[in-house]
Amino acid sequence: MQQNNEGFKSGFISIIGRPNVGKSTFLNRVIGQKIAIMSDKPQTTRNKVQGVLTLEKSQMIFIDTPGIHIPKHKLGDFMLKVAKNTLREVDVIIFMVNATEPRGKIDELIMDMLENNETPVFLVINKIDQVHPDELINIINSYKNKYDFAEIIPISALQGNNVDRLLETIQKYLPEGPQYYPADQVTDHPERFIISELIREKVLHLTREEIPHSIAVIIDKIKKEEDTEKDMIRVMATIVVERDSQKGIVIGKKGALLKEVGIRARQDIEMLLGTKVFLELWVKVQKDWRNKSAQLRDYGFRD
């Protein structure tokens, strides 16, 4: 790890915005590795995921904050609290909005939340590949009227348009500081969390609307197999659902759906770990777990 070298800048950047505006897509583009989980369903990212981008003269540490929404249950309160705490600690806040949608209730909530925050806030309008420039002006004005942004930058996270300009601008706002992470490190999240999110992503994709985002995946064990010819890692995980009917859906006819979840998740985990993986999945019903604060910690949620 490098010590304080002359002129080097480093800092933390938090990305906030309502679900599906493209936060994870942006992070994946910038970091170039699948660490934040992408999905069409809202609230896929429930925990802080850090991506580290090391350039010649700077290091940017991105934080993908949980989806901000109007709290409906204890988990919602928890997520809002995590988001607020995150915003106080960072050097730049990226408020990401979707160019194809009008300003909404959650955007109001976020801008209210930012009202007394000293950190510079960038309005990043994503998905510009989908709108006409005239529409873009209107959407920019609808946000500009409500909040005094440090910068306003339109991008397409998916196609990459203007992402370099955004990164250059972020760099200007960072303080001089040390290189916190080695240049080849892209995340400081434990592999355990990434593996559980990879499995969860496959369940959500394969079940579509039938299974709510409330499922959790617990990694019971990750161990190296000693007695096999090749290097192999055994991963045992439990998918936790809230109702018996959901358990049936996740398992599928003759176990077909769970098998497919296993095949797809295993491929991603093998890429992540760089070895052969043997994945064992179980499904467990735990009623109403979202409202039991005491259990949250057990499922890997951090305060």
Binding residues for GTP: 17-24, 64-68, 126-129
Comparison of 58 and 86: residue with beta carbon closer to ligand GDP:
86
Binds 65, which of ligand GDP, K ion, Mg ion, none (CB < 5 to 8 A, cut-off by type)?
A: none
How is residue 168 written in tokens? 């250059």
Comparison of 105 and 223: residue with beta carbon closer to K ion:
105
Pairing relationship of beta strands 216-224 and 232-241 according to DSSP bridges: antiparallel
CA dihedral 169, 175, 178, 183 (to 10 degrees): -10
Comparison of 24 and 98: residue with beta carbon closer to Mg ion:
24
Surface-to-core class of residue 225, CB atoms within 10 Å of its CB (0-12 exposed, 13-18 middle, 19+ buried): middle
Site for Mg ion in 10-49 (CB under 5 A): 23-24, 45
130 near ligand GDP, rule: CB under 6 A? yes
**Euclidean distance between the first and final Cα of the chain, in Å?**
28
- Candidates 32-40, 84-92, 116-124, 200-208 — which segment interacts with K ion by CB under 5 A? 32-40
136 near ligand GDP, rule: CB under 6 A? no
Residues with Cβ within 8 Å of residue 6, at least 6 apart in sequence = none
How is residue 82 written in tokens? 């995590």
User: Would you say 50 and 90 are in contact if contact means Cβ atoms under 8 Å apart?
Assistant: no
CA angle centred on 121, ends 115 and 122, rounded to 5°: 140
DSSP conformation class of 102: -
44 near K ion, rule: CB under 5 A? yes
Count of residues that bind ligand GDP according to CB under 6 A: 19
Return d(Cα 293, Cα 277) in angstroms, integer: 33
Comparison of 90 and 233: residue with beta carbon closer to ligand GDP:
90
Helix pair angle (256-273, 191-207), 10° resolution: 150
Q: How far is the CB of 22 from Mg ion (least distance, A)?
A: 8
CA angle centred on 73, ends 69 and 78, rounded to 5°: 65
Q: Can you tell me whether residue 3 is helix, strand or coil?
A: coil
Q: How far is the CB of 44 from K ion (least distance, A)?
A: 4
Q: Is the dihedral of CA 90, 153, 155, 163 positive or negative?
A: negative
> x/- site string to ligand GDP, residues 138 to 167, per CB under 6 A?
------------------xxx---------
Q: How far is the CB of 224 from ligand GDP (least distance, A)?
A: 33
Q: How far is the CB of 97 from ligand GDP (least distance, A)?
A: 10
Comparison of 110 and 258: residue with beta carbon closer to ligand GDP:
110
21 near ligand GDP, rule: CB under 6 A? yes
- Candidates 33-41, 69-77, 140-148, 219-227 — which segment interacts with ligand GDP by CB under 6 A? 33-41
Binding site for ligand GDP (CB under 6 A): 17, 19-25, 38-40, 45, 126-127, 129-130, 156-158
Binding site for Mg ion (CB under 5 A): 23-24, 45
Binding site for K ion (CB under 5 A): 39, 44
